[in-house]
Structure 1
Amino acid sequence: MVRTGLWFVYFMIYLLVISPGIKKAEMMYKKDKNKAGDYVKGKAERWSRRLLKLAGARLEIRGLEYLPQKEPVLFVSNHQGNFDIPILLSSAGRKIGFLSKIEVKKIPLISPWMEVMGCVFIDRADRRKAVQAIRTAANKLEDGNSMVVFPEGTRSKSAEVNDFKIGSLKLATLSKVAIVPVSISGSYKLMEANNGIMKPADVKIIYGKPIRIHQEGKVDLQTLAAEIQRQVQKNVDKKM
């Protein structure tokens, strides 16, 4: 309980302290997008690493050598728990945006940072707006910004990998960027497995080899989703 309370106190205080950085990032984007991206990346990485340390996450990272360095990518990850987001932010080594549910946009202090990170909010209840959000995210990828999607649609809160929904994977076929399958194991043990109480846990994240079959020709979304899920599942099943 003490760890959990301290974590949330730190979470809110740190967001308040760095909130002036939002305006700075917005101004930097008008002058130099690369410098602005580096600034936002640095802030996100430090924030995420501190949150993971306070939660007691013992993080093992594999597969960074597979990440393309000179092109944007679409990270497609399984989703075990809320800590998946700081795990990705702290380990990917680049500025990344997320395709996030529209409800998150209502959270003060968090949503402004998400906007400067390049996140896109999707309203799943409105098909027209959802399609527009997918196109907006695809445009960001085409402009050189890497993105993350969780195609399960929600947290599994377990070691299970639920079926991937194909909607968000249209980002790959529209933008033609490489897909990096991401496998996260053990993140649910930090909080979701403990009824919301944070406990230390071993967590593994594996970045897989890029998938490019959609760049080589037309591919059915179901086939693409199945191949990505196979790669993600394979690495989730690997022993710690």
Structure 2
Amino acid sequence: MEAGRVTTGAVLWRAYNMLQLAVGLVWTAAWITLALLLRPLSGPQARLPLRMASRCWGPGLLLLAGARLEVEGADNVDWSRPCLLVANHQSIFDICALFRAVPVPLRFLLKEEMKRVPFVGWYARATGMLFIVRDNARAGALFRRQAAAVLEGGQSLCLFPEGTRSRSGEVGPFKGGSLQAAIDAGVAVVPVALQGAGRVLPAEGFFQARPGIIRVAFGKPIPVREDGVPVRRQVLADRARDVVLAMLKARD
């Protein structure tokens, strides 16, 4: 009997997950369609479509998954100035959480394959998201120039310097090359610790969402120059990772 109840529960959860996925896809398509229709009215910085993601699309998906968002340390950051946010990465829900937690329009660095995803790729291109071909030196140099231009233009950008989602929950090494744009633009690096998204929606498996808490913690901005000299990018990456690890440990 117990085995039967467990099996029945698993089947019901699977069915509920499929319903969540279907509703989430329709929700995403609807909001992106509206955002694209309004894009010509929002100016070169695409402020309106980006705010729609942070106030409507992202919170809706978190609610659908049963995720509750907790934000800490937002007052550590002067949001009137552009910055490069660097975060650990466990789940696609990290992007929803960051959209909601950051109080200014936010762009992301995405892998090149996302361009081909219907709706999401269209939205990303229309709002000025950046794309990169992983493990391609020439593509990395192009991204750094593009990212520096975004930052110099007064816009904030977020990236995941581990390069991919963590399957184990451990925070991998931060790649220094991705932080060169902050050095070139002269903007601070803001370390961000994300916790719980990997349990709400694991990277492994096909959409196995579970209710839970997702925490977003902002560390103090890290300057990219010391005594007038640029900090080496790998040193900067290691410092950001150390802050992220410390924030995660503080909540364990």
TM-score where L is the length of structure 2: 0.87
Write the distance in 2 (CA, Å) between the matches of 1:119 and 1:89: 13
Name the residue aligned to 1:78. Answer: 88
Identity of paired residues, percent? 31
Name the residue aligned to 2:42. Answer: 28
Name the residue aligned to 2:108. Answer: 98
Name the residue aligned to 1:4. Answer: 17
Runs in 1 of length 4+ with deviation above 3 angstroms?
A: 193-196
Secondary structure of the residue aligned to 2:43 is helix
- Is the aligned partner of 1:165 residue 2:172? no
Write the distance in 1 (CA, Å) between the matches of 2:98 and 2:222: 19
Name the residue aligned to 2:210. Answer: 199
Report how many residues are paired: 236
RMSD: 1.9
Structure 1 residues 171-219: Cα deviation after superposition (integer angstroms, max 9, x where no partner): 1111111111000112110121773411112221101111114374221
Compare CA radii of gyration and give the structure with the larger one.
2
Write the distance in 2 (CA, Å) between the matches of 1:59 and 1:219: 33
Write the distance in 2 (CA, Å) between the matches of 1:229 and 1:214: 18
Write the distance in 2 (CA, Å) between the matches of 1:121 and 1:149: 11
Write the distance in 1 (CA, Å) between the matches of 2:29 and 2:212: 28
Q: Is the 8 A contact 2:174 2:237 kept in 1?
A: yes
- Is the aligned partner of 1:142 residue 2:155? no
Q: Is the 8 A contact 2:91 2:203 kept in 1?
A: no
Structure 1 residues 67-106: Cα deviation after superposition (integer angstroms, max 9, x where no partner): 2122111110011111111010111111111111101111
Secondary structure of the residue aligned to 1:68 is coil
Q: Is the 8 A contact 1:25 1:116 kept in 2?
A: yes
- In the TM superposition, residue 136 of structure 1 has moved relative to its aligned partner by 0.7
Amino acid at match of 1:226: D
Q: Which residues of structure 1 form unaligned runs of 5+?
A: none
Amino acid at match of 2:20: W
Write the distance in 2 (CA, Å) between the matches of 1:194 and 1:106: 21
Amino acid at match of 2:74: L
Write the distance in 1 (CA, Å) between the matches of 2:142 and 2:37: 27
Write the distance in 2 (CA, Å) between the matches of 1:174 and 1:11: 38
Q: Which residues of structure 2 form unaligned runs of 5+?
A: 1-13
Amino acid at match of 1:79: H
